Amino acid sequence: MFKRLYAFHAGSEYCSNCVFDTQSADPAGISEIPYFFYLIEHSNGFVAFDTGVNLDLIRDMRSYLGPHAQDWKIYVRPNDDVRSQLGKIGVDIKDVKTVVLSHLHYDHAGGMNLFENAVFLVQRDEWGFALNPPGAQQNSYVRSEYDVPAGRLRLIDGEFDIFGDGTLILVPTPGHTKGHQSLLIAGRTSSYILAADAAYVPDLADIPRLPVASLIWSKEALIESRMNLRRLRDRYNANVICTHDTDFRNSLNLAPAFYT
Ligand SMILES: [Zn+2]
């Protein structure tokens, strides 16, 4: 049974509006693009959705990411790592046994190595893509982040019900990357969709508003994924939560507050 959902804001980057929306009315304006990860409390245990940035990026992002760090104007605080953030709500990261990766970009996979006891749920398509990312996508992947023991990696093919009770369902949403996935949380009273990078505005009104080419694996797949998310939202009357929602300070309850 689904009990609680926590949303952790852990770092941001500042970039021109045209990066995430090439049709922006104010293309040169600068927006704060937040980084998020989430913790779900389920009667079968804790499930993390994404893991934030790496401790080494927090310590010295230029030597960690190279010159891109400067281009991307990333701001992180010393305690923005997933272990510190979970500690703030009294959760020991060792007690999190299941971690879902929406995809393996550095702002989502950076904290994987801090989960000592978890199994990582990654779409098989994402795994293959991340081992050999094409073109500009290479800048967003850091191989060492997902260099996890094979026994703790579970590759998923398509839709997957994590605990088999219909409450936490992985939904493939390719487009941003080849194996991107989102998570449907079907609660008894409320439902949520953690869209990650499949959409950037929670009302999903942005279907044709695409980011720049370096943030897209397949335009067609991204549009189809957004249409799938709309159908899912309508079927479950779900609230959609987007990782990089620029309006997050108004639209989200941030941890230690939570959703039920
Ligand atoms: Zn992202």
The CATH number of residue 203's host domain is 3.60.15.10
Cα 54 to ligand 1 centroid, rounded to whole Å: 14
Question: Is 259 contained in some domain?
Answer: no
Among residues 233, 203, 151, 139, which one has the least CA distance to residue 177? 139
Question: Is 258 contained in some domain?
Answer: no
Cα 251 to ligand 1 centroid, rounded to whole Å: 18
Question: Is 260 contained in some domain?
Answer: no
Q: Which two tokens stand for residue 227?
A: 């249409």
pLDDT band, residue 158 (cuts 50/70/90): very high
> Residue 54: left (phi > 0), alpha (psi -120 to 50), or beta?
beta
Cα dihedral sign for 64, 49, 201, 197? positive
Cα 76 to ligand 1 centroid, rounded to whole Å: 15
Percent residues over pLDDT 90 in the chain: 80
Cα 68 to ligand 1 centroid, rounded to whole Å: 15
Cα 97 to ligand 1 centroid, rounded to whole Å: 23
Cα 144 to ligand 1 centroid, rounded to whole Å: 18
Cα 163 to ligand 1 centroid, rounded to whole Å: 26
Q: Residues 179-199: what's their mean pLDDT?
A: 97
Cα 116 to ligand 1 centroid, rounded to whole Å: 23
Angle among Cα 52, 166, 170 to the nearest 5 degrees reads: 35
Q: Residues 50-77: what's their mean pLDDT?
A: 88
Encode pLDDT of 12-58 as tens digits.
999 888 878 888 888 888 889 999 999 999 999 999 999 999 999 99
Cα 136 to ligand 1 centroid, rounded to whole Å: 14
By the 8 A CB rule, do 109 and 148 touch? no
Report the pLDDT value the prediction gives residue 170, as an integer from 0 to 100.
Answer: 98
What is each CA distance from 198 to 28, 78, 85, 103, 210, in whole angstroms? 23, 28, 24, 10, 10
Output the average pLDDT for the chain. 94
Report the pLDDT value the prediction gives residue 19, as an integer from 0 to 100.
Answer: 78
Cα 185 to ligand 1 centroid, rounded to whole Å: 20
pLDDT band, residue 65 (cuts 50/70/90): confident
pTM recorded for the entire structure: 0.95
Encode pLDDT of 120-138 as tens digits.
999 999 999 999 999 888 8
Question: Is 256 contained in some domain?
Answer: no
Structural domains in the chain (count): 1
Question: Is 245 contained in some domain?
Answer: yes
Question: Is 257 contained in some domain?
Answer: no
Indicate if the pLDDT at residue 69 is higher than 80.
Answer: no
Cα 2 to ligand 1 centroid, rounded to whole Å: 25
Encode pLDDT of 210-241 as tens digits.
888 888 999 999 999 999 999 999 999 999 99
Report the pLDDT value the prediction gives residue 112, as an integer from 0 to 100.
Answer: 98
Cα 81 to ligand 1 centroid, rounded to whole Å: 16
Residues with CB in 5 Å of ion ligand 1: 107, 197
Cα 243 to ligand 1 centroid, rounded to whole Å: 7
- Domain containing 99 equals 2-251
Report the pLDDT value the prediction gives residue 210, as an integer from 0 to 100.
Answer: 87
